[in-house]
Amino acid sequence: MAKLYIVGAGPGSSDYVTPAARKAVREADMVVGDNCVLSLFQDDIKSQSVTLTCKNIDETLKCASDTVKCGKTVAVISTGDPGFSGMLGSVLRRSLAENIEVVVIPGISSLLACAAKLKMTWDDAVLITFHKGASIQRKREFAKAVKAGKTILLLPDPIAFTPSEISKYLLKTGADKKTSVVICENLTSPKEKIIETTLEGVINQSFDATSVMVIKSKLKK
């Protein structure tokens, strides 16, 4: 039976691509993904590949869904894990999973790679993404978690809500300027960089679009 595989590619290194992900791509009649994730599967793609961009996402995902309805299997590759700021949300928001079989192949999120790199547990951490937008309500909930002393693992919006803007916002809402911040750039890649600083120290810096931000605040006594 034809299926729509939504495949997690991991944080960026081929070392973090799972065997299950490679198997799904090898079995697909069509493979969809941006250039970066397609390159991770270049030896596994045995069929047609379609490059996904921000400009063609609507028509490309609809084409993928329609292709499955025609009896062919499609693999849509997602950076990180499909369920966290990944392609699963993009498919579901467009109601493209109706009347077809969808199989999600999980991947290693950059948040998990970040936690592992920093040797930190994330049982009680608050996971936040601003990739889907930085609404006033989402910002308020975020600031509330910081004030409560929670450890935050978050994906900044590289354009609308960068680490610098995040720091400015938290300081305006009363956060301590010495609050610990770690920025992890390009995790698992040769360009990987770990920057340890504070909210105050982040303000005048810029970071790569693939950054993960960790905020560790302390409750005031």
Instruction: Say whether pLDDT at 19 is over 90.
Output: yes
CA distances from 21 to 67, 77, 78, 200 (A): 20, 9, 10, 41
1: confidence class by pLDDT, cuts 50, 70, 90 = confident
As a whole number of angstroms, the distance between CA 74 and CA 4 comes to 5
Q: 3-108: what fold?
A: Cobalt-precorrin-4 Transmethylase; domain 1 (3.40.1010)
Closest C-alpha among 18, 71, 74 to residue 47: 74
Taking only the tens place, the pLDDT of each residue in 74-94 is 999 999 999 999 999 999 999
Burial of 83 (0-12, 13-18, 19+ CB in 10 A): middle
- Segment 87-113 mean pLDDT: 95
Evaluate whether the domain defined by 111-216 bears CATH number 3.40.50.880: no
- For the chain, helix (H) and strand (E) counts, in that order, are 8, 10
As a whole number of angstroms, the distance between CA 19 and CA 146 comes to 38
For the chain, the distance separating the N- and C-terminal CA atoms, rounded to the nearest angstrom, is 61
219: confidence class by pLDDT, cuts 50, 70, 90 = low
Q: Residue 176 in 3-state DSSP?
A: coil
Q: What percent of the chain has pLDDT over 70?
A: 98
Taking only the tens place, the pLDDT of each residue in 56-66 is 999 999 999 99
- Segment 164-178 mean pLDDT: 95
- According to DSSP, the β-strands at 212-216 and 193-198 are unpaired
Average pLDDT, rounded, for the chain: 94
Instruction: Say whether pLDDT at 160 is over 90.
Output: no
Supply the pLDDT for residue 133. 81
All structural domains of the chain with their residue ranges: 3-108, 111-216
Query: pTM above 0.85?
Result: yes
Instruction: Say whether pLDDT at 221 is over 50.
Output: no
As a whole number of angstroms, the distance between CA 126 and CA 123 comes to 9
- Segment 169-182 mean pLDDT: 95
- Segment 16-38 mean pLDDT: 97
